[in-house]
Structure 1
Amino acid sequence: MIKILPKKILFICFPCLAIMVISCIIDSQNCDTTNSGNGLHPGYYKQWFEEKKDANGKIPPFLRTQWAKWDAQQIIRRADENPIDSIIELGPKNVAGRTRSIWIDPRNEKIILAAAISGGLWRSENGGLSWKPSNEQQISMMPSCITSNPYNPDEVYYGTGESRANSADVDGEGVFKSINGGKTFTQIQSTTKLAGFNAIWDIEHSKIDSQTLFVGTHSNGLYRSQDGGKTWANVFKGGNSQINEIVCLPNGRIIATMQSSFVIASDSNGNPGTFKIVNFPNSPGSGKYRRIQLAYCSKFPSVVFAVFEGYEFSDNAIRFYKSSNGGILWTEKTAPTNGGASYQAYCLMLGAHPTDSTKLVFGGTKIVTSNNGGETWNSIANGHSDHHCFANLPKSTNEFIIGSDGGLHKYRWTSTEILANLNNGYKVTQFYCGSFGPNGMVGIAGSQDNGTHVTSKPLESQSFFGGDGAYCHIGLQDGSVAYMSYQNDAIHRMTNFNPTNPSFAVNITDPAFTSDGVDFINLYEMNPMDQNMVFYRTNRFLYRTTNMGDEWTTMNKSIRAGIKAIGISHQENPVVYFGGISTQLYKIENAGLALAGKEVNFNSSAPTNVTNDNIKGLHVHPKDPYTVYVALSNISNQPRAWRVTGLDSVSKIRTWKNISGNLPIGLPVNMLAVDPLFPDRVFFAGTDFGLYYSIDSGNTWNKDYRVPNVCLHEIKMRDDRTLFLFTHGRGMFALPLKYVDVTSNLRMQVEKLKSYPNPTNNTVEVHATISLLNAEYTVSNTNGQVVLKGRLSAGQSIPMKEQQNGSYFIQVKSGNQLFTSKILKNEK
């Protein structure tokens, strides 16, 4: 038995400054008193990639477009009763996540669009005081860059896919376009499956032509469209083919940067064959730097600036240049080394004042400004760390907005302080994992670079812990104890836990965890029937504590590498399952008392078509400790959801039953949960593409379009039939289930709906075998988004005039009958 003493104590309370100062005393490497996020090594991507990659070691592009098409085909069959009663958003309300781009309407600076990586595109119409999501069911929730047509600002475009990833499902799905000033967007079909358009660094519109725009891709160079995005041509593909930044000057000059390669420029609006390499004095040379960021002064566009990021992970900026003739000739200035590292192309931001070419702002992990064109640099207050984007306010020329891992903050050029935090209602927190309290709306979750948060009521939360928040639990017997952790092997215990009042936290990390090695976001689970008992995985062993972390015991003698999931039965002395890569699956009986080496190996029981897959979720049947629901999180065309039975010591046959039904092919399932009242019938799947449910034992699945179409890292069911969702991009949710009579018929009778005219250009009349007066109707587009709903009035017509041209699905519900129809809107 290994004994650990509580040698580190963290006092967590208001004000926030106290939290950070005391954190510095505990662990100097995690100290950053300038912000709430510590800006540490963005190391989750490697872990995520290993858990997601396919059999060829890759993430295939444009998967979400395929999944969306599959979902759209299922709409006509969606006749099952949804077991979920309501969707309660827990938040946090004002803790934002990584924001890669900002667009401000040049006609009205109150209208702002923000690109929240993995949380979708968001819109504010009051200058950032409040926010609303653009489309919670968009095919891609990975907006990375935004631009608009300077001749017609109603035309707004955004590219998708994060090329320098940290923690999200990084691929995008091409370019999306709005023709109404950013209110709604449609995927540009010509950009789906176009090489490189799954990871777009930048998108910019020409300043001299109303139909020309450029896209910089991560893997296939620079593209240009001359017809508003209908068709595209690759106009440059030299160097390493990675275009990080594009600047379109008013004289038609196009400048683009290529990571670790060079800068190119064209004086012919980007015509193929006209790009030339730009020379910089005292250039660091190819392979000595990473990204290059550009900026220019709007009033004096011939004044252009360039900053070179250092090559190594912790390097500061190494070069800074100024040009006074549109980027033809350059003069070296002082590099903003006090702006912090950019983590090898992860966070690099440069902005220029719109009317004063001497004023600049630079961001890496920190923010610095210059008032003399880059001769000297001065530190200013940081709203957060890891800065990504910048935008000037078009009317209030003394103000600008910066986007970071902590969302959005407004500044004045004349001040070193933050003018305003713009994150109220910008609900894009990227949670890795989470759990719930014994009752109410108490949830706890760990987030990317924003610590651990606890909710006490919907949209009311408290920050409890810093760094990259990781796995966490609240005791379910009386809620008096909580376990929290941050990146790598740091796990802490908090007694006298109160969801609204943080208190002391004791470090219960065992030295063996460090020597074994752990994941960046490292898994551990608490016994739901005994809050003193915790099971912790490392890269070699599974550990157990029965006294809240004062002592840890190894559970296996042989090394078990690649553990990714732990499942615990509902017993004080539980059956514990653990598994992971290569479909490993082990069981420990009487795990509260078992000695090391008692695990039973079920590795050979898995079907041959999934033996090389990754088990990410293990959910033990609430009434049968020898039945387990297995979720496979890697990309594969093989089934991703399984029900495994016969895991007791008597049964000789272990049965893996495929319960994937009609889930989209290839869609990773991160975790499964079951209804405690109907654990053999009613299932829930947390996937990379939203939430699905089944009420027929996994034969058919339906998508709940009330839940945002984001990656659900974890879903967990409480015994009172409340399902908690922990999303990577949209915070936490609680979903109470409906009461369902076990004897009721859960499947509605489905009939065909007669609708005409079809195609239609205005209204649709609907008729069925019964009267539909006052019946409920919904109209969904092919992405599954509900665009119209209401009750039928006299005449039984549905207004379609405001809808865009395309295919739609109509559902009309009357009593226990559901009528469906597919129509085409074609207004010429």
Structure 2
Amino acid sequence: MKLKSVLTASALAVLALGVAALPSQAQFFRRPNQNSKPMQFNDIGPALAGGRVSSVVGIPGNPNIYYAGTAGGGVWKSSDGGNTWKAIFQHEPTSSIGAVALAPSNPNLVWVATGEPNIRNDVMVGHGLYFSSDAGTTWTEIDPQLFHNAGQMSKIVINPHNPEEVWVAVLGHAFGPNDVRGVYKTTDGGKTWKRTLFVNDHTGAIALAMQPGNPEVLLAGMWDVVRHPWGLENGGPGSGLYRSTDGGDTWTRITKGLDAGSYGRIGLGFAPSAPDTAYAIVQAKKGLFYKSTDAGLSWTPVSDSDNIDARPFYFSRFVVAPNNPEKIYFLSTMLSFSTDGGKTLQRAGRVHPDNHSLWIDPDNPNRILEGNDGGVYLSYDAGLHFRFLDTIPIEEDYMVSASNEPAYNLCAGLQDNNAWCGPSSRNSTMSWSVAAGGDGEYAVFAPSDPKIVYAESQNGSASRINIGNGLSTSIIPYELGVSDIKQSDLKYRFGWTTPIEVSPTNANSVYIGGNVLFHSTDGGYSWKVISPDLTRNDKAKQVQSGGEIVNDLTGAETYDTLLSIALSPTDSRTIWTGADDGVIEVTHNGGQTWTRVDSNIPDLPQWGRVQQIDVSPFDSNTCYVTVDRHMNDDNKPYVYKTNDSGKTWTSISAGLPQDNSARVIREDPNEKGFLVVGTDTGLFYSRDDGSTWTQLKRGFPTVPVFDVQFVKKTHDLLVATHGRGILALDDIIPLEKTTPAVAAAPLTVLPILTDYDLRGGKLGGGGFFGFGGGSGAHIYYNLSEAHKGKNKVTIAISDSHGNLVTTLTGTGNQGLNEVSWRGNYDGPVTAILPRSSGGFGFFFRPRGTPGKPTPDAGPHAVPGAYTVKVTVAGLPAQSQTVRLEEDPRWPHPVDAIANAETTLRMSLAARDQMSALNQMLTGLQSMKSQLQAEQASMKTLDESGSGNYGGVISAAKEFSGKVVTLENALYNPDGQKNEGTAFLSAFQQKFESAYEDLGNVYDTAPRPTDVTLWHSLQAELQDYLGQYNGLLRADAVAYNRLAAKNHAITLAVGEPITLPAASGRAVAARRRK
């Protein structure tokens, strides 16, 4: 008994050292991907395109941690020097960031002021002030009653000695008057606030600076500004420069040395190394950049160069180097610096144009973090050279378009950063690339030709691109200048986001909207106007934008223009248009006559922007519209539908948040009455044609939604966000079909989309993939109650003859559950090996359950219909059918499926041979471990005088030598002990290589060389199996007799291994049960 106990414990200890799975399978045989959270949005990118950054900050002396606040994508943090970034402010009420600040005395104390202060035409509304005490892990909204509806915020200043004392500059509403403007101060960490500087309800605080080392002296810049849908009024009598000497409790307006008259935007800053030296940008008719040597009490003009501040309303920022009061970095269209206090300028290193924020490490002034319209840049040589940190997905998309093909491509137009086209998944046939330059807005695939894209980069600058050969042709409908002629004198007006639509059946039939609708039937070579003016054509609002100090003429404020065009999918002659001034028109005869219908909408406020129109894919008389009035300082959603071509309308806004504008609505082409609305903060869906709404979360962040597109064939949902790029929800059938009745049913297996065998294609840059066709068949099932426990849910997949292909294990969560089948049979039985014996070998060895086949990890199934049977313990099983299809991107030979069946038969035989090999390795390893343990235990007992096992020890040693000799012929971990790099014996390397080669056979039968190789390998394997079975039948039997005779523990050995008989019958017949 004592010996048995010792030996058993010893043997178990050896076997419990850990096991390494050794399934020996080809790389393309993918394992199932089971998500604990089914149906989550994926970020498609392209992150490398970049987006607008409004605030950047780092930690002095720490080159690893950075924060970036963005115009529409929230706050991001890097903990590895800018290589990777994490969204840390993505579920708060807004994603528009004005300022990010860290307490100098404790960088874990982080403040975020929302509402970008660079109020260009696409600026998003802010909602509050936020604080984190744990470096951005959690957030608390500070005094929401005061700040939540304050609008835009520009600056946060924190007392370097007392983090409880904080000042905040509130610019206020960008699009109208409000009285929550000015400079606010707290002395108790944000519990209570006092407004200490206020001018009027249309003048807010744009700049705030503290004298270094002296929190009693502060400077503030106040800005009189408002935006309208048709223009910017920048500057007025409310603007001014203010100074405080009592910690911001009281303020005095400073004018000494400044130009007389009205001011526009103001920028302020002190020199850290010379605290009495301050600088100011003051937009005025005369002068621009000023210097003070008495801490802001008086000023001297330095320069009026436009290079300092090319567009004052958009820039007006600079930073003084911490170690040199004469070295100043100017953030304008181009990033520049001066070493003589602003008198002369030099270009800094190359960064994206339009610069907004810059932080310099005071402990190392060579380290600079910079934010602009293209993203975040990092310099280690004081700005002479910069590195673009291109892994932050903060693209500001206007729209998204998908090509009409299974492995579809995407195009999107990005503010500031071109129009891009690229892949929806790794199976796409293209990489991300620029389709059109400038500020990309529309980039639309021709539905009937996936190689043709029509793109536009503001104000009608359209082009036709063949993404197959890269050829781009200008197709501008009408040449015009947006900066040298008054809008009211223009013959045709084109808005900043000029809409483009393409006929669903003719790639050369394209429409572009100005103030009229243009149509081309030859791909844009020539154009015809097919409408009258489809806007209000209010000359009083067709003005030069900019304000009383200087005009800002970029075309961004061109007004009375079309924003949306919608072609009816069911009637080629029905076209709807929507304008930026609220006009909605429709034609049912291809543009011969038009009817204005917006006046039929009851209680619709005037002058809203008809951002998007969606004609029902089921009925040309049914139309959905969103009217966006945030530029009228009205953030309510206005969503309507009509079923009679606009004669009558019904509001369907009830149930949507009433403080967020709605920008887009679409109807699902696969489910009548299933609607999705995009607002300034998120997504909502309705299953009942807009009667009720539910927020669509699924991992979707707070972000403005500018466009939504359904992909009919794949049931995918694409979302163009203005701050987080393209987000996509793969296969929304569960959303479409999970009605209240389905949710209440004990088990419902939902319809399964066809899975295409998409192998090949290019990998695209700019990443964030893992979406789209070819990712496997997604199996969704809904449970009304949770079913937990091992093997509670199984998913059996069988072929058309009822033969089992693989069995997957599913989750038993209440609600929606998901399992992915990659289209594979079971993989080989995995080997059980101690971890010290190596675990990968020959480049790959995915883990499986030791001693069992790995589900969905073997040969790929042939095209055809398969049955998916979901069984939940205690409930009747349910089934659905899924089809596997050939790759539709290119033609296949007529005998492709027959060839695939031949390959499958051979692959399944090879898999079974691999299983036999792994079972043999498991048996050898087990016997070796037991023999080693027994020898050690018996030797210990002999030495202690408790036993006499010399003969058994000798027999064990002899038997172990035979086992090791055979094992080394198959698997030799002694070559390299490291588990990740241990390589196999020559035989097993050949075996795995041949198995992998079979997986790469596509459209053809296995080559004669493959067949010959497998016959040779099978013969060699049979020889090894003969040796192994001989050990079991002879040596193991003899050893166990001797051990039993001497009262030693016997070996636990398995049965002899035989290969399955080869068969020439069809796969299904051969495997029929």
TM range (shorter): 0.7 to 0.9
User: What is the CA distance between 1:608 and its match in structure 2?
Assistant: 4.7
Contact 2:117-2:153 within 8 A present in 1 as well: yes
Deviations 1:127-148 (A, max 9, x none): 2112111132211211111222
How far, CA to CA, are the matches of 1:269 and 1:630 in structure 2? 51
Equivalent residues in 2 for 1:118-267, closer than 5 Å: 118-188=72-142, 190-194=143-147, 197-219=150-172, 220-238=181-199, 241-249=203-211, 250-252=213-215, 253-259=217-223, 261-267=239-245
Aligned counterpart in structure 2 of residue 449 of structure 1, from 413, 416, 420: 416
C-alpha spacing 1:86/1:221, structure 2 compared with 1 (3 Å): closer
User: What is the CA distance between 1:601 and its match in structure 2?
Assistant: 4.4
Instruction: Say whether residues 1:629 and 2:624 are aligned partners.
Output: yes
Q: Which amino acid aligns with 2:221?
A: T
User: What is the CA distance between 1:172 and its match in structure 2?
Assistant: 1.2
Equivalent residues in 2 for 1:618-767, closer than 5 Å: 618-634=613-629, 640-647=638-645, 654-665=647-658, 667-680=660-673, 682-705=674-697, 706-720=699-713, 721-739=715-733, 745-747=739-741
How far, CA to CA, are the matches of 1:769 and 1:710 in structure 2? 32
User: What is the CA distance between 1:692 and its match in structure 2?
Assistant: 1.0
C-alpha spacing 1:769/1:628, structure 2 compared with 1 (3 Å): closer
Deviations 1:336-376 (A, max 9, x none): 72625442321122112222333221121112212233343
Instruction: Say whether residues 1:524 and 2:500 are aligned partners.
Output: yes
C-alpha spacing 1:740/1:151, structure 2 compared with 1 (3 Å): closer
How far, CA to CA, are the matches of 1:456 and 1:304 in structure 2? 53
Equivalent residues in 2 for 1:298-313, closer than 5 Å: 298=272, 300-311=273-284
Contact 1:196-1:218 within 8 A present in 2 as well: no
SS of 1:662's partner is coil
How far, CA to CA, are the matches of 2:873 and 2:45 in structure 1? 34
User: What is the CA distance between 1:456 and its match in structure 2?
Assistant: 2.0
- Higher mean alpha-carbon deviation, 682-691 vs 605-614, is at 605-614
Equivalent residues in 2 for 1:22-421, closer than 5 Å: 85-106=39-60, 108-188=62-142, 190-194=143-147, 197-219=150-172, 220-238=181-199, 241-249=203-211, 250-252=213-215, 253-259=217-223, 261-272=239-250, 275-278=251-254, 280-281=256-257, 283-287=258-262, 289-298=263-272, 300-311=273-284, 318-323=288-293, 325-328=294-297, 330=299, 332=301, 334-335=302-303, 337=305, 339=307, 341-413=309-381, 416=384, 418-421=385-388
User: What is the CA distance between 1:208 and its match in structure 2?
Assistant: 4.2
Contact 1:492-1:508 within 8 A present in 2 as well: yes
| Percent of residue pairs bearing the same amino acid type | 22
User: What is the CA distance between 1:434 and its match in structure 2?
Assistant: 3.2
Deviations 1:766-807 (A, max 9, x none): xx99776469xxxxxxxxxxxxxx9999xxxxxxxxxxxxxx
How far, CA to CA, are the matches of 2:121 and 2:252 in structure 1? 36
Contact 1:86-1:737 within 8 A present in 2 as well: no
Equivalent residues in 2 for 1:501-516, closer than 5 Å: 502-511=470-479, 515-516=491-492
C-alpha spacing 1:200/1:145, structure 2 compared with 1 (3 Å): same
User: What is the CA distance between 1:114 and its match in structure 2?
Assistant: 0.7
- Higher mean alpha-carbon deviation, 136-145 vs 429-438, is at 429-438
Q: Which amino acid aligns with 2:656?
A: L
Instruction: Say whether residues 1:553 and 2:528 are aligned partners.
Output: yes
Larger helix fraction of residues: 2
Q: Name the TM-score, length of structure 2 as normaliser.
A: 0.57
User: What is the CA distance between 1:556 and its match in structure 2?
Assistant: 2.4
Task: Report what 2:392 is aligned to.
Answer: 426
SS of 1:516's partner is coil
SS of 1:94's partner is helix
Give me the CA root mean square deviation.
Answer: 3.5
Give unmatched runs, 5+ long, in structure 1.
1-82, 648-652, 752-767, 776-789, 794-812, 817-828
Q: Which amino acid aligns with 2:409?
A: V
How far, CA to CA, are the matches of 1:196 and 1:575 in structure 2? 42
How far, CA to CA, are the matches of 2:435 and 2:635 in structure 1? 40
Instruction: Say whether residues 1:566 and 2:552 are aligned partners.
Output: no
Contact 1:338-1:377 within 8 A present in 2 as well: no
SS of 1:97's partner is coil
Contact 1:84-1:738 within 8 A present in 2 as well: no
User: What is the CA distance between 1:183 and its match in structure 2?
Assistant: 2.8
SS of 1:337's partner is coil
SS of 2:491's partner is helix
Q: Which amino acid aligns with 1:694?
A: S
Contact 1:109-1:394 within 8 A present in 2 as well: no
Q: Which amino acid aligns with 1:556?
A: S
- Higher mean alpha-carbon deviation, 157-166 vs 575-584, is at 575-584
Contact 1:307-1:335 within 8 A present in 2 as well: no
User: What is the CA distance between 1:451 and its match in structure 2?
Assistant: 1.4
User: What is the CA distance between 1:235 and its match in structure 2?
Assistant: 1.2
Aligned counterpart in structure 2 of residue 488 of structure 1, from 440, 445, 459: 459
Contact 1:211-1:228 within 8 A present in 2 as well: yes
User: What is the CA distance between 1:413 and its match in structure 2?
Assistant: 4.9
How far, CA to CA, are the matches of 2:116 and 2:442 in structure 1? 25
C-alpha spacing 1:226/1:611, structure 2 compared with 1 (3 Å): closer
How far, CA to CA, are the matches of 2:67 and 2:635 in structure 1? 36
Deviations 1:714-753 (A, max 9, x none): 11223323222111111112333333599874555579xx
Deviations 1:390-425 (A, max 9, x none): 101244331212211111112345563x23112x22
C-alpha spacing 1:700/1:155, structure 2 compared with 1 (3 Å): same
Task: Report what 1:27 is aligned to.
Answer: none
User: What is the CA distance between 1:658 and its match in structure 2?
Assistant: 4.0
User: What is the CA distance between 1:119 and its match in structure 2?
Assistant: 1.2
User: What is the CA distance between 1:124 and its match in structure 2?
Assistant: 0.8
Deviations 1:188-221 (A, max 9, x none): 1x14444983221211112343311111122522
C-alpha spacing 1:152/1:704, structure 2 compared with 1 (3 Å): same
User: What is the CA distance between 1:625 and its match in structure 2?
Assistant: 2.1
Deviations 1:605-661 (A, max 9, x none): 4335578755332212223222222223236798733332133xxxxx945344445
User: What is the CA distance between 1:125 and its match in structure 2?
Assistant: 0.7
User: What is the CA distance between 1:303 and its match in structure 2?
Assistant: 4.7
Of structures 1 and 2, the larger Rg is shown by 2
How far, CA to CA, are the matches of 2:735 and 2:141 in structure 1? 42
Give unmatched runs, 5+ long, in structure 2.
1-36, 173-180, 224-234, 482-489, 537-559, 746-782, 791-810, 815-871, 876-1073
User: What is the CA distance between 1:685 and its match in structure 2?
Assistant: 1.0
Task: Report what 2:878 is aligned to.
Answer: none
- Higher mean alpha-carbon deviation, 115-124 vs 340-349, is at 340-349
Contact 2:51-2:374 within 8 A present in 1 as well: yes
Aligned length: 658
C-alpha spacing 1:639/1:223, structure 2 compared with 1 (3 Å): closer
How far, CA to CA, are the matches of 1:404 and 1:637 in structure 2? 27
Contact 2:349-2:386 within 8 A present in 1 as well: no
Q: Which amino acid aligns with 1:233?
A: K
Larger strand fraction of residues: 1
